[in-house]
Amino acid sequence: MKKLVNAIAMALAFTGTAGALQAVHAADYKPRIIRFGYGLAEDSNQGRAVKYFADDLNKRTGGKLKAKGFASASLGSDTQMQNALIGGAQEMTVVSTATLVGIVKDFGVYDLPFLFANEKEADAVLDGPFGQKLAAKLQDKGLVGLVYWENGFRNLTNTKRPVAKLEDLQGIKLRVMQNPVYIDMFNSFGANAVPLPFSELFTALETKTVDGQENPVNTIQSSKFYEVQKYLSLTKHVYSPWIVLASKKWWDGLSADEKKAIQESAAASRDYERKDSREAAVKAVDFLKEKGMQVTVVSDAELTRMREKAKPAFDKFAAEGGADVIKDLQAEIAKVRK
């Protein structure tokens, strides 16, 4: 026995690896239930990733930390869940970064249209110093930003007419997220922007309170918007991130081992979620066509016109204190492009 202990001590002295350390220290995990609320259906890229996170964390902690997913905004809309986390009434959520602007205004920067050319650029910026610095601003507000997941490039749907150019948007009542950049952008495109929480969107489309909405194709599929929307325009006007959040109040009471396990599972779920979302997005357009949606590919020339038309949204965001954060983000994107 003494020999064995010596051998372990030697191994530790030489390797010093985390694995070896874990062999002697039992990790400090308490049995915990983590309420993890989210807005989309259980059968969606978001739901699959929450499940992946829960399974991974369960394995990592030997069944001690149990995350329980609550789908379809059953714990509340994005902003309601953020407030529940701040108050400590809920442990985790995943929300669109766009819905955080009431807490940290700089999050509006991701919503400026046509910033990222592709997912690779988005990953590099979100996972790099820019995305981390922005996420860290949530701490003072009672939220811990863990990782970014992909919501995806957003596309337009409506019931009125195919939208191939800006003029086609004229007068369309379009639901947008509760975020001034979206409201300004779509109003400048000639639409009539109506801010609503996602949890009210399907009903608003069904009852024709609004004519259209904009979301990634995965969400148009998983939320069954094809049942109440006829025309889909592939505009990819904004790359929309999701961010996984924990309640700071709750987080501060966790042991270092528990925090580490959650961070590791969050990182694993990010990699899984992005791969899954990208694979699903490739198939979603065909699925939506089969369901009877009429798909319009918007020309590059029209997208350039849209970008120019959106200039007032950029200018207003800059004038209201966002100039530096726009500059920083653009500098980061330029670095990735080099």
From the CB of 97, what's the least distance to ligand TK8, in Å? 9
Name the residue among 79, 104, 29, 315 with its Cα closest to residue 195: 79
Among 34, 75, 95, 126, which residue interacts with ligand TK8 (rule: CB under 6 A)?
95
Among 90, 96, 179, 265, which residue interacts with ligand TK8 (rule: CB under 6 A)?
96
Among 39, 145, 212, 322, which residue interacts with ligand TK8 (rule: CB under 6 A)?
39
226 binds ligand TK8 (CB under 6 A): no
Nearer to ligand TK8, 168 or 214 (CB): 214
What gap in Å lies between CA 144 and CA 103, rounded to an integer?
12
What gap in Å lies between CA 25 and CA 39, rounded to an integer?
39
243 binds ligand TK8 (CB under 6 A): no
Among 151, 235, 247, 296, which residue interacts with ligand TK8 (rule: CB under 6 A)?
151
Three-state DSSP at 252 gives: coil
- If binding means CB under 6 A, how many residues of this protein chain bind ligand TK8? 11
From the CB of 183, what's the least distance to ligand TK8, in Å? 13
Q: Helix and strand tally (H, E) in the chain?
A: 14, 11
Main-chain phi, psi angles of 144, to 5 degrees = -110, 115
Give me the sign of the Cα torsion angle 197, 53, 223, 70.
negative
Nearer to ligand TK8, 177 or 193 (CB): 177
78 binds ligand TK8 (CB under 6 A): yes
Name the residue among 207, 237, 249, 234 with its Cα closest to residue 293: 234
Structure tokens at 73: 């905004």
From the CB of 40, what's the least distance to ligand TK8, in Å? 5
Rg for the chain, CA atoms, rounded:
22
From the CB of 73, what's the least distance to ligand TK8, in Å? 6
From the CB of 176, what's the least distance to ligand TK8, in Å? 8
What gap in Å lies between CA 212 and CA 166, rounded to an integer?
15
Q: What is the contact surface with ligand TK8 in residues (CB under 6 A)? A: 39-40, 78, 95-96, 151, 177, 198, 215, 219, 240
